[in-house]
């Protein structure tokens, strides 16, 4: 049985056996072109372009008009030529990746006889509406989808503040074309000035929406 030498190939021009690594045939002088690595390189570039287009995410932008709210004031500044906004206020509808999020209200509360904040603190309840205009379901978590800072310091969700209201907690799945309404609560110093809440619609997208509310 004939055993083929894997290190030898046939010349594409004359058919003579030559070394696989040869750049030219020693018999006829024809150059031996190999497109193996070229095809791999092109494939990598194409895959990279497709991946970049598939993962392209929108930046948050205001949509519609700001709805009036009886709750705390929002830090919204007007200018003749408005650049792309990075923060948004109470009542502003913000769209990102076909998800529209609105901080509908911010309310201070002293709690009840059986559920009070610590001395010098207040419960602050932040109400949101989340509208899923995308073609797939999204998941919302009060622990994973929100980050908050009060006067520059990080703060966590307060269970006491949460149960002081009848509002639904912001946890669960929102089907395509559907909405979720609920609230997330914090316990803050009663003289707090600025509350910054970041909503993260998708951890992997790297984009988020920042809402700012002022106390007073």
Of 162 and 59, the one with more pLDDT: 162
At residue 207, the pLDDT reads: 82
Integer angstrom CA distances of residue 68 from 40, 72, 92, 116, 198: 58, 11, 9, 29, 21
Pick the more confident residue, 103 or 11: 103
Give the closest residue to 84 by CA, choosing from 60, 56, 58, 57.
Answer: 60
Query: What CA dihedral angle connects 209, 172, 143 and 63, to 10 degrees?
Result: 10
In order of 110, 152, 195, 205, the CA distances from 200 in angstroms are 29, 19, 16, 9
Residue with tokens 């970049």: 52
The residue behind tokens 């998800």 is 99
pLDDT category of residue 141 using cuts at 50, 70 and 90: very high
pLDDT class of 50 with cuts at 50, 70, 90: low
pLDDT at residue 35 greater than cutoff 80: no
> In terms of Cα–Cα distance, which of 159, 206, 214 is closest to 58?
206
| Total residues found in the chain within this entry | 216
**70 Cβ neighbours under 8 A, 6+ residues apart:** 105
* pLDDT score of 152: 95
In the chain, domain spans: 8-54, 61-78+85-214
d(CA 86, CA 67): 19
Helices and strands, number each (H, E), in the chain: 2, 13
Q: Could you tell me how far CA 69 lies from the centroid of its own chain? A: 27
The pLDDT, as a whole number, for residue 15 is 67
Confidence band, pLDDT 50/70/90 cuts, at residue 75: very low
Residue 55 or 97, more confident: 97
**High-pLDDT (> 90) share of the chain, %:** 48
Q: What is the CATH number of domain 61-78+85-214?
A: 2.60.40.1240
Q: Which residues contact 184 (CB under 8 A, 6 or more apart)?
A: 125, 126, 128, 142, 146, 157, 162, 169, 170, 197
Taking the C-alpha atoms of residue 150 and residue 189, their distance in angstroms, rounded to an integer, is: 9
C-alpha span between 213 and 185 (Å, rounded): 14
If pLDDT is split at 50, 70 and 90, which confidence band does 5 have? low
Nearest Cα residue to 18 out of 29, 38, 35: 29
């Amino acid at each position: 049985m004939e055993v083929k030498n894997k290190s030898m190939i046939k010349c594409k021009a004359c058919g003579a056996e030559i070394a696989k690594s040869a750049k030219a045939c020693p018999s006829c002088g024809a150059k031996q072109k190999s497109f193996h690595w070229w095809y791999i390189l092109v494939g990598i570039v194409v895959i990279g372009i497709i991946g970049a287009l598939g993962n392209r995410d929108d930046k948050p932008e205001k949509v519609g008009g700001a709805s009036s709210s009886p709750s705390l004031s929002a830090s919204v500044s007007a200018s003749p030529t408005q650049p792309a906004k990075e923060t948004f206020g109470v009542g502003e509808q913000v769209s990102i990746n076909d998800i529209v999020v609105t901080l509908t209200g911010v309310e201070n509360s002293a709690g009840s006889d059986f559920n009070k904040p610590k001395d010098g603190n207040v419960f602050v309840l932040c109400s949101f509406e989340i509208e899923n205009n995308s073609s797939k379901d999204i998941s919302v978590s009060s622990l994973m989808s929100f980050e908050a800072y009060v006067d520059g310091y990080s703060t966590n969700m307060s269970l006491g503040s949460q149960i002081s209201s009848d509002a639904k907690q912001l946890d669960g799945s929102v089907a395509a074309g559907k909405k979720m309404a609920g609230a997330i609560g914090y316990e803050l110093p009663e003289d707090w000035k600025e509350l910054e809440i970041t909503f993260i619609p998708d951890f992997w997208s790297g984009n988020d929406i920042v809402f700012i509310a002022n106390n007073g």
